Amino acid sequence: MSRTGGFLLTMFIAMAAAAGVVFLLYKTELGLMRDAASRGSLVANLDMGPIEYADKGAGIPLLSIHGAGGGFDQGLALAADLVGDGFRVIAPSRFGYLRTPVPQDPSPAAQADAHAALLSKLNVPKAVVVGVSAGARSAVELTLRHPDKVAVLILIVPALYSPTSPVSIEASRGNRFALWAVNAGGDFAWWATEQIAPSVLIRFLGVRPALVAAAPQAERDRVMSFVKSVEPLSLRFPGINIDSTPALHELPLEQITAPTMIISARDDLFNTLPAAKFAASKIPGAKLVVYDTGGHLLVGQVQEVRTAVRRFLASAGLIPSSDATETVLQYRVRS
């Protein structure tokens, strides 16, 4: 064999070995992620079908409704960030996510009825309802269709209807690639991009990568944890598919009677601010909180968001004012 042939063979063997190591690492991590997604939840058999959910903690019942790419696990993590301790968090996997199948009617209204049925199944007469991103749609429908179930409504970066400037995603090359990976249900594509070019996924999730790069390590870790929480992508793809093609229309928001808080950011790359402003203008007495920076994941604003949410709950009489202040101070010390 010539020297050139030997070199090429050596290179081929090295590349094959590297590919084998990468594939083994991927399969190992995918197995761990699948195992994690199968733990910590139950399935309620309701009249409209099975609904997966987690039920954690003790205190005031709080229904945590996740956004696109989520599941019960993301709902738990979001509640921990947004409100902290002192709550019984009920976090369902919405239609098409993890172990909750896609029903014949996957609309936000039908999902809201499933939320109400789950609360009844768990003997929860009324709950604080938190809807994040695409989860805000069924949170609003729940408040309209089952007002007796909602003590307080909190909408975070809500992907709702806006008459002038709809929620959208940037048409960048990286976003087109990420969208292709999502549409393909591509576990490996998402995982590989996370390893090689995480900034592509960060932007796809509605945040400027430069904002994350400049954030403290704890915030960078939180963002990457959120990126990882979308995995395994294939177990969440049916739900993402539903959320990606919403038939948004104006709802009678003026009929909402529950105390309502809405939070968004001016630099949210999903453009949720116009929808947040529109909803706040329609819902009687709604409190609107807008941050100049943070993007769709409210990077750098978690402490401020938790402070605002707990103070709002205190003003609604759900937690003592002293408890809200004490919890916020404890969070600052831990941070």
CATH classification code of 42-168+252-334? 3.40.50.1820
Write the pLDDT tens digit of every residue in 188-244: 888 888 888 899 899 989 999 999 999 999 999 999 999 999 988 889 989 998 998
Q: Is residue 167 a contact partner of residue 275, using CB atoms and an 8 Å limit? A: yes
Instruction: Spell 293-319 as b/e; 16+ CB within 10 A means b.
Output: bbbbbbbbbbeebbbbbbbbbbeeebb
% the chain with pLDDT above 90: 65
Q: So what's the pLDDT on residue 20? A: 52
% the chain with pLDDT above 70: 83
- Nearest CA to 94 out of 227, 243, 301, 223 is that of 243
Q: Higher pLDDT residue, 161 or 193?
A: 161
Q: So what's the pLDDT on residue 177? A: 61
Rounded to two decimals, the pTM is 0.87
Write the pLDDT tens digit of every residue in 89-120: 999 999 999 999 999 999 999 999 999 999 99
Q: So what's the pLDDT on residue 170? A: 62
Q: So what's the pLDDT on residue 45? A: 96
In a 10 Å sphere around its CB, with 0-12 CB exposed, 13-18 middle and 19+ buried, how is residue 179 labelled? middle
What average pLDDT does the segment 55-59 reach?
Answer: 95
What is the token pair recorded at 146?
A: 């089952």
Write the pLDDT tens digit of every residue in 229-285: 998 888 998 999 899 877 889 999 999 999 999 999 999 999 999 999 999 999 999
Give the mean pLDDT of the chain.
Answer: 86
Q: In whole angstroms, give the CA distance from residue 328 to residue 85.
A: 10
Q: In whole angstroms, give the CA distance from residue 100 to residue 276.
A: 28
